[in-house]
Structure 1
């Protein structure tokens, strides 16, 4: 019977009663506080409430074995793996070691686990119990976090336990936190009296004082010898000493068997007994462990030997000397010839000094772990391999490879720690190059000293001179990304271009095109545009190449190409499970489509980019996607929402001076102010993007919203300010055919022109190739209609204003549509009210699902695209249909097509 946990039991019990807004609970607390006892009560109650219980428990010994915890969790569902879609089935089978072919994506593995669990839950609701998350292997923990974020519509709940002060991916997975506090004096006394009713008064008082409300201590300390206890010892150390005291009286063979069990990463009784037989040279049966059961150190059944608490396991291991532990590890290694990875770890644990043979075995273990997607396990194996390396050079290489994998998994602090362990005299020029490249990749250098960009330029030059073209290109890419997020100055940009020019690569090489676009978007804009147009025919071939070509197109103002490349990249990145790159492609797609006026595509892309960037730990991409969402909200006239998103995006951008984020924030602010008639504010907001001293200044982006700046300046009576900046923009236009730049210039020329020149300039703006730029065409019609009305050419003005209104209504650009309506009223023509369309009624997430359903994708296919279970997709469609007044997919497709038209 639990003491003092009534409120916690009630809260957890509510999870079993039916659907709630919570996906589960994460129970935290110190060692021995009763987390497992609390969860055991809920697990016992779940079957009575009609739930199926699936469990996994983290283990100190298994924390370096990728997907060990996931295997334990999904084993009861193994027969359902065959019914999974092929990509998911393959990823899960590789991750669980059922096949050795290929390398799984962690996110595809997560989707496979979600699908498997959702199918099980469709037959019977599921309770997932995940204990000791602090010791769960990282790959399994990441999959569980992935699942927990996506079970909103599934009859699945997750209850996890985590020791205080320890990290876990589950802490950011949306689980409701529950902190277990120590028991009150009254509850402590009740528990102690229940477990030790005849305890002498003085001892009882000492136990209550020493336990200080910790349930495990209250249970275990009554059997301790307090005569020599140090009252200032931490409680866990005191408990370990208590367990050690229980160990001392046991016979030597029993202690040896307990040590083997403590060092074995699995609780399999047969394995423990086999290793004990090898260690002692005598037959070993379950009866050997009965004294340990009587001492309340372990629990025993026909298949497993389980320590009653993790502290008991660690106490047994700590009480043994190195020689004893070494012998036990070697005994375990001897029985594992069929499991080379576990064998290698035990051999390594038994080795005090260098041993190249075992180091090589661990290296192979790391390779297998990486092939299964267990990056954290591979890093641990390589680090241990480095410790056992026979030479300093091999140790350095293995540490460097471990650091590379840490970078791949996004763990900067771990990568830096591993690099610091390389002896300085082993950092050859090649290794220094690798280190520089590795650590420069995090967050694209946002927040780094700008001198770093110049260093990378010199490093790329030196590496290229040594003939390392691929390495030089990677370094240049890192430097180029810094030119996007920060501003290193023209000299550094020229140095980077010079290095890129000298690389022995074919003309139009995609990587060089992308680097050049970031570094010199205007000076080399024409070269980049030629390369992009030539490569456009290959879109859809390689998603990673498409992704950075989309980014390159954005830099040079080719938003139509940027949207095309990025949209082509997204399906491939999804299929490969590359969720680290996917939000980058989606953010560029949303940014470009918002500029083109394609809000129907931009809305779900921006929302998903923000969500995935946050989930994958990319704060600046999250900031950029959030700023795009603010821009979209402003264009739709949703100013309250736009204001909230602006605040959030600016918070992220200001933290490290992320210029593209802050520039897009200013654009959103300017659009809000224009829509609300605050023209002086709009002018001030947009002008900041053009000021090199402002953190919102971004070399490329500053040139791509001249139309909005011109509108704000004219209405604020600041036309001279626009005329002052036009010469610089005209100069840029002489060296690049950037579509966005030239469209903006044509608009500004027409709007600012004297009356005797304006009509020809408006006609020229409308005669330009505006294919794929509907918002810009509508804007020119609107400005032309406004000018014609001011010239009292009312009938002519109505045609242009009507075209502008219809264009903006179709695109969902409510702010501009309202401006066109006002102008039409002034021209003597009324406009029909615009009824809310699908894009107004649906959330961004729902809109994305609706669009895919309208394309004919099944729920399962939509789920695979968006990393959701098909049941969750079905739940969303059940909400979407009534919102839009449709009853079938065919009606949905027609509804969305009508809106799009």
Structure 2
């Protein structure tokens, strides 16, 4: 029968066979087998699994069950149970996270990504012993947490003898976003359909045969089941006239067989359909409760005879049988079945709560409380989607308006954290129809504004939320700070107008929170980096002295330091939590911290550190579903590429711009224009450079940003001088000079000093250049080299070549050390014009490495093992080994012990400052 079902699938069979053979040869991969119900997905994968097992590949399976979609990590538990002997060998944090996620211990899961790393390590370790094939059936019914983990694993098994095959009816963003290959099963051709039909139902009359082929439409299950229905029930459901969908038609064929079964058999089948992968004992006990009489395993006999379940137990022959059972029952029968299951599932509170809720038609506070508790347990196990579903259903069962509002808003907050914007809107609309308390009004407003973070900030709404945040913070400081951030965020991304900004700043000043609270310090920097600049800068510096106990605070403080124009300080602040964020599996926050690291490094001219952080941030932002961070990273990549003369600068700038323009995300657009200006300046296209940079200073332009423009003041002045636009630059300088007296922003103060020198007449220029050089902070070598270059150019143009060569040489050496090749080439050209030989240096061997390879090399040089490196970078140990093998020839080494000597002197700025 299996061979018949696979007629016409030669191409697909070869593709799966090749993937399995790939694992046997030492490398892995993943594929999604996609197709309609009954199209032959399971038969195809079953054949591949059988062949794999015969060749020595270990096969483990998990099956998604519709009734367990909201049980967190239910699918993962099936896989882990088959590999449980390897759990104790996992690193401690991974072992604890995995055991908590699958319910082996009652502890909170630190982060689902740590669970993903644990699953990856568990599977990778098992694959070292024997090639491993992991089959996930009916993934469309698998719980979200398990699919998130599987997607995480699928992206990281290229170097492991491990294959993941996911069988599903429809695409899913959790798997589609993983970039997996898709094997799409199309209907069988007419010729193959006829061959299969003749094999399963020989001797049909031509008219009936033709009608069956037409109805089956190339679906193998239909071709095998419709003839059975024709024989067993006279074809009443198989050949019903009218445009009935094929899936429903097949369900009716199964339903027709069910209707002829004894009552106890029907009851057991319905309970099995509603009970997921529950045990036979549970279903028999529930059936006895429903029918009021004893029911034993013999009740399944007629179902086996009717071809509805397998002979070896309570396993449906096809998922459509389960659907047929569900749809064949009346609402009252389903409620009775759920109630019976709730009674027999003692000791399983989550499953019990869902069945009790399904048995309830109207409001029921006890059922709502049970689901509320289920949501709490789901969150502890990392199941945000399951918790969201439980809270939504709990709200439906809640009669009290206040309790209903609370559950709806908690659900909205979870949906917001999960990136499910459409769900957030629906929940807020439901909550908005209730009479909300002041506190709940604030919660709803905060969720609504953060949901719209891509949109231009609506000034009045943001200001009102900020003022409400002050009121709420008196009783709930954390909620008040979150609401204040919700007010500042859209203003920072957009342009709310001065009146709204002033109200937000005043609200921040009035917050009844300790002035040194790190979150309040950061928020004041975001909303008033000039007006409160000196005090905020002093507070940011003091934050370095406190113990870094909160990994969430430092990235926010780092972003605040960037806004203040202090990139070196931002590097220090965001470097501190990186290890903790990795250890805790907080990859969403890690992506944001690395984005800030990359942007700070770009402004410091440290190409190597910036590229390292940007590459990892981009991957994590994509994986964790943060489009804003991803767009920002692309803009930063454009900036880094401009500094080092990489031609990809235009590509990355265009990608960032496409993402940011629809929502008017000004910080991204400002960085894009700054990057384009840098690139044009280094290429000698001064008119283009001025055009790009001037947009960042023009309040009418979407790329204008009141604070990020501080980083481009000197470049604007230089481009203006060289493109006969100096008057415009002088006007901008006059506007910015009063701001420099209010703030301690290193970016603004350095930019103003160098801009004055560039725009000054010859008799005062040299002293201004020298003053600009003296004022550069010691932790900003790129800016010092930038001033050296400008001074050297001025000296050469004023016929002082010997003096110019000294400062130009200093500039070139710093630019080259930082990897700022475009600026180094400018210095080199000036040196040649000044009469000095300045040949291009061959690129260092380390510059041949990808950012990931460099990261692996640095960690290996520090003495970390492959497993320890894998823990840091969230990849398998075998992937680390592959990276090392690829980089050794590039570096000219043969062993990891030689890496420290090769990498000496190439450690990044980020490592130097911590």
5 Å-filtered alignment, 1:558-577, equals 558-577=566-585
SS of the equivalent of 1:307 reads coil
Give the CA deviation at 1:450.
Answer: 5.1
Q: Structure 1's 884 and 194: CA in aligned 2 closer, same or farther, altered over 3 A? A: same
Q: Structure 1's 291 and 900: CA in aligned 2 closer, same or farther, altered over 3 A? A: closer
Q: Structure 1's 197 and 651: CA in aligned 2 closer, same or farther, altered over 3 A? A: same
Match of 1:291 in 2: 302
Separation in 1 of the partners of 2:894 and 2:769? Answer: 46
Per-residue CA deviations over 1:133-159 (Å, capped at 9, x if unaligned) read 111000000000011111121122221
Contact 1:483 1:518 in 2 (8 A): no
Separation in 2 of the partners of 1:6 and 1:889? Answer: 46
Match of 2:442 in 1: 433
SS of the equivalent of 2:662 reads helix
Contact 2:27 2:161 in 1 (8 A): no
Q: Structure 1's 323 and 718: CA in aligned 2 closer, same or farther, altered over 3 A? A: closer
Match of 1:231 in 2: 242
Task: Kindly indicate whether residue 204 of structure 2 is the aligned counterpart of residue 204 of structure 1.
Answer: no
Give the CA deviation at 1:455.
Answer: 4.0
Contact 2:70 2:386 in 1 (8 A): yes
5 Å-filtered alignment, 1:308-323, equals 308-323=317-332
Q: How many residues align?
A: 896
Separation in 2 of the partners of 1:485 and 1:731? Answer: 24
Between 102-111 and 762-771, the greater mean CA deviation after superposition: 762-771
Give the CA deviation at 1:468.
Answer: 4.6
Q: Tell me which of 504, 509, 516 is aligned to 1:508.
A: 516
Give the CA deviation at 1:347.
Answer: 1.9
Separation in 2 of the partners of 1:101 and 1:800? Answer: 61
Contact 1:457 1:492 in 2 (8 A): no
5 Å-filtered alignment, 1:647-666, equals 647-666=654-673
Separation in 2 of the partners of 1:511 and 1:53? Answer: 49
SS of the equivalent of 2:434 reads helix
Separation in 1 of the partners of 2:452 and 2:138? Answer: 31
Match of 1:374 in 2: 383
Task: Kindly indicate whether residue 349 of structure 2 is the aligned counterpart of residue 340 of structure 1.
Answer: yes
Match of 1:4 in 2: 8
Task: Kindly indicate whether residue 21 of structure 2 is the aligned counterpart of residue 17 of structure 1.
Answer: yes
Separation in 1 of the partners of 2:518 and 2:373? Answer: 34
Separation in 2 of the partners of 1:41 and 1:452? Answer: 60
Between 549-558 and 716-725, the greater mean CA deviation after superposition: 716-725
SS of the equivalent of 1:308 reads coil
Q: Structure 1's 722 and 863: CA in aligned 2 closer, same or farther, altered over 3 A? A: same
Match of 1:46 in 2: 52
Give the CA deviation at 1:458.
Answer: 4.4
Two-structure CA RMSD over aligned residues (Å): 2.0
Task: Kindly indicate whether residue 93 of structure 2 is the aligned counterpart of residue 87 of structure 1.
Answer: yes
Separation in 2 of the partners of 1:313 and 1:785? Answer: 79
Q: Structure 1's 700 and 21: CA in aligned 2 closer, same or farther, altered over 3 A? A: farther
Separation in 2 of the partners of 1:380 and 1:682? Answer: 52
Per-residue CA deviations over 1:80-109 (Å, capped at 9, x if unaligned) read 111111111111011010111233310000
Match of 1:64 in 2: 70
Contact 1:630 1:643 in 2 (8 A): yes
Per-residue CA deviations over 1:25-49 (Å, capped at 9, x if unaligned) read 1122222212112211211121234
SS of the equivalent of 1:444 reads coil
Give the CA deviation at 1:735.
Answer: 0.4
Q: Structure 1's 596 and 324: CA in aligned 2 closer, same or farther, altered over 3 A? A: same
Match of 2:274 in 1: 263
Match of 1:160 in 2: 166
SS of the equivalent of 2:167 reads strand
5 Å-filtered alignment, 1:820-831, equals 820-831=827-838
Q: Structure 1's 263 and 514: CA in aligned 2 closer, same or farther, altered over 3 A? A: same
Contact 2:454 2:628 in 1 (8 A): no
Give the CA deviation at 1:22.
Answer: 7.5
Separation in 1 of the partners of 2:134 and 2:397? Answer: 39
Give the CA deviation at 1:776.
Answer: 0.7
Contact 1:267 1:305 in 2 (8 A): no
Contact 1:16 1:49 in 2 (8 A): no
Separation in 2 of the partners of 1:624 and 1:826? Answer: 38
Per-residue CA deviations over 1:817-848 (Å, capped at 9, x if unaligned) read 11111111111111243111245311122222
Contact 2:460 2:500 in 1 (8 A): no
Match of 2:789 in 1: 782
Match of 1:275 in 2: 286
Task: Kindly indicate whether residue 494 of structure 2 is the aligned counterpart of residue 490 of structure 1.
Answer: no
Contact 1:199 1:222 in 2 (8 A): no
Match of 1:55 in 2: 61
Separation in 2 of the partners of 1:36 and 1:443? Answer: 42
Match of 2:861 in 1: 854
Task: Kindly indicate whether residue 197 of structure 2 is the aligned counterpart of residue 192 of structure 1.
Answer: yes
Unaligned runs of 5+ in 2: 909-914
- The TM-score normalised by the length of structure 1 is 0.96
Give the CA deviation at 1:694.
Answer: 0.9
Contact 2:639 2:674 in 1 (8 A): yes
Contact 1:134 1:168 in 2 (8 A): no
5 Å-filtered alignment, 1:723-742, equals 723-742=730-749
Match of 2:252 in 1: 241
Separation in 2 of the partners of 1:106 and 1:100? Answer: 15
Separation in 1 of the partners of 2:20 and 2:500? Answer: 61
Give the CA deviation at 1:168.
Answer: 4.5
Match of 2:882 in 1: 875
Contact 2:530 2:743 in 1 (8 A): yes
Q: Structure 1's 392 and 489: CA in aligned 2 closer, same or farther, altered over 3 A? A: closer
Give the CA deviation at 1:769.
Answer: 4.6
Q: Structure 1's 519 and 448: CA in aligned 2 closer, same or farther, altered over 3 A? A: closer
Match of 1:217 in 2: 222
Contact 2:866 2:880 in 1 (8 A): yes
Separation in 1 of the partners of 2:358 and 2:697? Answer: 61
Q: Structure 1's 817 and 661: CA in aligned 2 closer, same or farther, altered over 3 A? A: same
Contact 1:713 1:721 in 2 (8 A): yes
Separation in 2 of the partners of 1:246 and 1:204? Answer: 22
Give the CA deviation at 1:460.
Answer: 2.9
Q: Structure 1's 839 and 452: CA in aligned 2 closer, same or farther, altered over 3 A? A: farther
Contact 2:450 2:489 in 1 (8 A): no
Per-residue CA deviations over 1:685-741 (Å, capped at 9, x if unaligned) read 111111111111111101112222222222223222222211112111010111111
Task: Kindly indicate whether residue 277 of structure 2 is the aligned counterpart of residue 253 of structure 1.
Answer: no
Per-residue CA deviations over 1:518-554 (Å, capped at 9, x if unaligned) read 1122121112101111111126332111011101111
- The TM-score normalised by the length of structure 2 is 0.95
Separation in 1 of the partners of 2:827 and 2:676? Answer: 21
